[in-house]
Structure formats: C-alpha cells, structure tokens
Structure 1
C-alpha cells in the first residue's frame, strides 16, 4: 500500500473507502445522507464555475458550517455581487510579488535555522517545521507577532482543533462545536481588529483598512484566512518531499528547481489533494454528471476522486485543462490565498532541495485529522556534515 493511501485511511478509515467507492459509480452519483457526489473533473469544474446554480450559502453548503462561527460576510459563505466586491478588494492583498516579499521576510529566520540543522547533519521533522512555517505566515497576516516556535505551534494547533470537529459527512456544527470554535477564534479576531485599527499599511490588516473594508469584514477575513491558510501548506510540504523521494525524482528536481519545482508542487497537490472535498448547495434545477439535481440538494465535489483519476504521482504528467488547480477551486471562489500558499511552499522546498540528497528516516500517518497528513516525517541530508 502506498503512503498516500495510508494517510487517507488513517485520517478517514470509514469515509475514505466510501468516497473511493463512489468514484466507481460514474461522473456523479446520489448517495443517501451525503448528497450528490461528483467524481469527474469536468463536471466538478462546471459546478464551480456556475455560482448562480451552485452556491456556498444554501443548505448543506460551507455557509451552513461557518456562518455561525464567522458571521455572514466572509468569502467562505458569500455569493453574488457582495462576494465579488469583497473579493476584488482582497485580491490586491495576495499578488505573487507581495506574497513572495511577505514570506521571504517572515520566514528568513526559520529557514536559516532549517539550513543550519540540515548542514550539521541533524534530523528534521518536516511536519513540525511546516507547522512553524504556516503558523508564522498566518500570524503575520492577522497581525499577531509570533517569534517563538512554541507560540507558533500553539497558534497552528488552534486551527487544527477547529478543523478536527469537521468530518467528510458534517453538514453543520453543533452549538457546542460553534462555541469551541468561537473560543479559539475570538482572541485572534481581537488581535486582527487591533492591527486593523492601527492602520499600518505595511501590515495585511492595515492594507484591508486602506482598501475600504469595514472592521467586521476585515475581522471575518482574518478568521477565514486563519482557518484556510494553515493546514493546506503544513500538510503539503511533508507530502511533497515524500512523493518526490518515493518516486525517485527528488534528486532530479534538486538539480533543476527553476525548471521543475513548480511542476512538482502542482503534481504533488494533485495527488495529495489538500482540499479532498468541496461543498455546494443547489439553487435551481440542473444536471450534474448525468444526475438531475433540484433546489436544496447538497453537492459534494469529491476533488480527490477527480484528481486520482489521472493516476499516481508522475513528474512528467501534464494536467488536462479541466483538472488544472482544481484542488484550489475554480470560478468565483478560486482560492484567493493560492499565491501565498505557493510562495511558502516554494521557499521551504528550495531550502530542502539545496540540502539534497535527502533521506526519509522515519514517518507515521496522522489520525483524527480532517486533511490527511503525516504525524511525523523525519529527514536528513546524506551529505557530510559541514
């Protein structure tokens, strides 16, 4: 059994076999108690591109999950002109150049420590290090000054506690789950609000104020960034390194990171699928993958099934147009944080590849998590210590 399958089975021992079983039922299939499961990339993209028919603010959608926690005005649960207007303003915060500058600045110290540890021949747990990376960057985004690695890990664990309350079948959070999520997020919202009020345009929150976002919009956006901007990066980095090592292509990418690294990251994201499922609510009658749907139906896009149809990790694979970056969504809700995630992953990957050849010395799958990941992935360089 390959390690990617182990990760999914460890995270979702019951739901994962059912999800993969649905893939054998055709482009889409109605599953009692779950909704209409979409397994085909073309059908999934068609759903994601049609924000009028398939929405994030109806029954069974992400809005059902997150509105009680975050309020009504965050990108995760908005549609229509209000969503487009907010997204236009927020997009300016996450351009490729601004995200590269932000990550290079705030990750300089952690990456220097990583280089030093690898050069000394020490073993590095990429799971723990990736959490530091993700926590450091998202702390900067929401205006939290986190310098100590223990504080950064604690910040990451706050988001992990919220994500752990959600399963592949969850339709809405219980009152106690909502209360626990607010308990975690409210202090961070207060920090974000103070950063917004200070108005320093060198900070993300200060730029939100300059762009005309209202205080509640900025606070909600910060909470949404925190929920969505940590685990994607933290889970992908160890899996990227493992996929390269297991496929025997780590040395090849290390020899030509300028030409191959982005291709390797995109292929790793296809295989790992950091967003295994996406939810939508049907607003008007339509057809999805040959299945008739009606208002109120729940659509579960099995992104993982769509991506796995192209087979195992292959550095030389070209992604067809319908699959391109589907794991980040498509259409009006394509992930606004995509440039930020790529900037983080590139910086860490380049640092690791510069220490190649690398050897995985120990690994274990994580259990009880929403996004499948490693509990530990230890690596060390096979170069002679400096």
Structure 2
C-alpha cells in the first residue's frame, strides 16, 4: 500500500499548521508560543500550561488533578450530559462505570462491528478509487463515521443522508467549544441538550429492547442503568465520531505529502501512531487541582486550572517520521493516560485501520484541499483524492 511519490514544494510541511490556523487563528499561535517558554509555565487568566510529555503523563496519572473541579471538563459538559459520564467523573464511581463499559470495547468486538458496518461503504470507496474517480475523503469519512455511531447508539443500518445528518449534529455541538472555552452559554447548552436528548432517546429505546447484538443492548446486560446508557451514548457521540472522521483525511494527506510508503499492517500501525502524534486529536486537556502539588517545578494549589498542551508535547518530538519510535512518555498521550485513557480507543483504531488500509491500497494523491474554519478539531473541509 503506497501513495504516488510526492513532488510537492517545501510548503507541503505547512499543511497541518494551516489547518490549526484556520480552526484557531488566535489561540493556536499563542499555544505554540507558550511551547517556547519552558516545560511548565503559569499564564495569568489561563492557568498552568504543560508543554512536556513526561510532566503531562504524571499529571494525568495523579488523582490530585481532576476532571470534575472548577476549570475542568466538567464545567463544559456536566450542564449538557449530566454528572455521571466518564468525561466528568472521578474516584470509585468513575472506576465502577468504566469497568462496566470496558467489555463493550474489546478489540475483537469493535473490529467485528466496524467490519460489518463499513463492509459496503468500503467496497464502494475501493471501487471508486479503482476507477480513477476523484473522491472527497472528508465527505466519505463523515458518512462512515456517522454509520458507525448510528450502529453504536442503536439506530442500526441507516442511509447515507441520515449518517451525514447525525455527524453534522455532533459537529454542531463540538464546534461550540474553542481552545479558550471554559463553559458553554445557556443558549449553547440548550442547543446541545436538544441534540443529545434525541441521541439519548434512540439509545434508550435500543437499551430497553435488550438486543445483545447492539452496544446499547449489551450495556443493559453489563448492568448499566438506562440513565448511564443514555449518558454513555451522548459521550461517545460527542467524542468519537468527529475524532475519527477528521483524522483519516489528515492521515492520508500526511502520507501523500511526505511520499510515505505503507506496506503491510505493521507499517500502517506505525504510520497511524505517527500521524496521531503530528495531528494530535486532543490538542488540549484540562484538569482542576484538588490538593497542593507540583506540576514540574511549578507549585499549584486547590482550584488552579492545569492546561495540558498535548499538541506542544507531541510536536516537540519533531516532524512527521514514522520510522522514529515514540518515547514511552509520549505513547498515545493524545488519548489520555491513567484512569481516563480513552475507553473508545479500540473502536477509533478499528475504524481508522479499516478505512486507511482501503484507501492506501491504492497509489493515491491529493488533488485539492480546503481547510475547515470554525471547528474545534482542526480538519479539512474537503480533501479530494484520486488514485493513479
């Protein structure tokens, strides 16, 4: 599997920066500037910013830094999702809910789910590329990511337009958040609740049907309550769909721009990991300080806000180069670490592998591209590719 060798000019290396600047024209330059000020820096009005992967991992593994205090993700998502989802929980309750959910995301189960949902869409995508058609990979990924989340929350098989609609609804909610956001406005909360109530209703109906072939039905078997199932469906909808849909086009663009050869599943996995490092699916993570502690050499006190600049931590490792191994402190840091490591990682990886292996089995090249604006996760609005 390999793209056509790239003959792009040196500016090809700037495409990722252009995506970030299109999404966050003010915040991104500030975040990158902070990377030059040291591994940990206190910024008035912003918080304590972490630019070092080892320090970031230590914070994420330390129970004194929480997701449910002031300045944490709870400020954003509790008004929308309620107090009992993995995004805003800590302690024994968080651990208990996580243990209930983990059997739903084993690599074997999610690989089978993805293979079933994407069998026909991938066959169609493969045929289009084989015929030499120009394909907008962004639109294709929205359809496929939407189809997977539809199956996950209990909708079953849906037409392309319904998958697009569902993706657009999730994108609308996520795009209310910027790198500077501390909380949503009352109007934004109302909009988000309307979207997620519809998702919750779908999920609860599947939960009550108890069909063990569905994720919601399996949640009931695993002992989750209807409320927990609704909350989980909303969290997966918000965090999983856009992450995968935005990443795959960026992955393919990086491979094409750098003339990277992808020959076999092991090489593909290395390329995926390296592309995740460069693109950083979660560019920033937030924690609230619960007890006095040190972040690197900076003293923090209860109520302080810690902003982990995951993108700075990751980009410190250098430019895109799949042949260079990641140091231990950097491993999958963009999916978190410790008790909050992303529970949906196996599902995301299964989707990414399935689509990337299909696309990169052709000698693809990028025909045109356009950066998206007004989004939280930097991405392409369109990425047109073709195979030679």
Aligned to 1:148: 159
Aligned to 2:292: 285
Counterparts in 2 of 1:1-386, with a 5 A limit?
Answer: 1=11, 2-50=14-62, 52-249=63-260, 252-253=261-262, 256-355=263-362, 357-382=363-388
**Counterparts of 2:65 and 2:322, CA distance in 1:** 34
Contact 1:146 1:152 in 2 (8 A): no
**Counterparts of 1:82 and 1:326, CA distance in 2:** 24
Contact 1:69 1:182 in 2 (8 A): yes
Q: TM-score, normalised by structure 1?
A: 0.96
CA deviation profile, 1:248-287 (whole Å, cap 9, x unmatched): 11xx20xx22230000000000000010000100000111
Q: CA deviation at 1:113?
A: 1.0
Q: CA deviation at 1:57?
A: 0.3
**Counterparts of 2:122 and 2:158, CA distance in 1:** 13
- Runs of 4 or more above 3 Å deviation: none
Aligned to 2:5: none
**Counterparts of 2:290 and 2:265, CA distance in 1:** 44
Q: Can you give the 5+ residue segments of structure 2 that lack an aligned partner in the other structure?
A: 1-10
Q: CA deviation at 1:334?
A: 0.1
Q: CA deviation at 1:317?
A: 1.1
Q: CA deviation at 1:146?
A: 4.5
Contact 1:138 1:226 in 2 (8 A): yes
Q: CA deviation at 1:338?
A: 0.4
CA deviation profile, 1:272-326 (whole Å, cap 9, x unmatched): 0010000100000111121111000111100000000011100101000000000
SS in 1 for 2:369: strand
Q: Can you give the 5+ residue segments of structure 1 that lack an aligned partner in the other structure?
A: none
**Counterparts of 1:378 and 1:137, CA distance in 2:** 22
Contact 1:27 1:290 in 2 (8 A): no
Contact 1:48 1:331 in 2 (8 A): yes
Aligned to 2:3: none
Q: TM-score, normalised by structure 2?
A: 0.96
**Counterparts of 2:193 and 2:321, CA distance in 1:** 42
Q: CA deviation at 1:177?
A: 0.8
Paired positions, count: 376
Contact 2:175 2:374 in 1 (8 A): yes
**Counterparts of 1:279 and 1:257, CA distance in 2:** 37
**Counterparts of 2:353 and 2:264, CA distance in 1:** 9
CA deviation profile, 1:230-256 (whole Å, cap 9, x unmatched): 11101110011111111111xx20xx2
**Counterparts of 2:265 and 2:79, CA distance in 1:** 44
CA deviation profile, 1:137-157 (whole Å, cap 9, x unmatched): 111110123521111111000
**Counterparts of 2:42 and 2:246, CA distance in 1:** 30
SS in 2 for 1:248: coil
**Counterparts of 2:257 and 2:59, CA distance in 1:** 34
CA deviation profile, 1:66-120 (whole Å, cap 9, x unmatched): 0110011100000000000100110000000001000000011110110111111
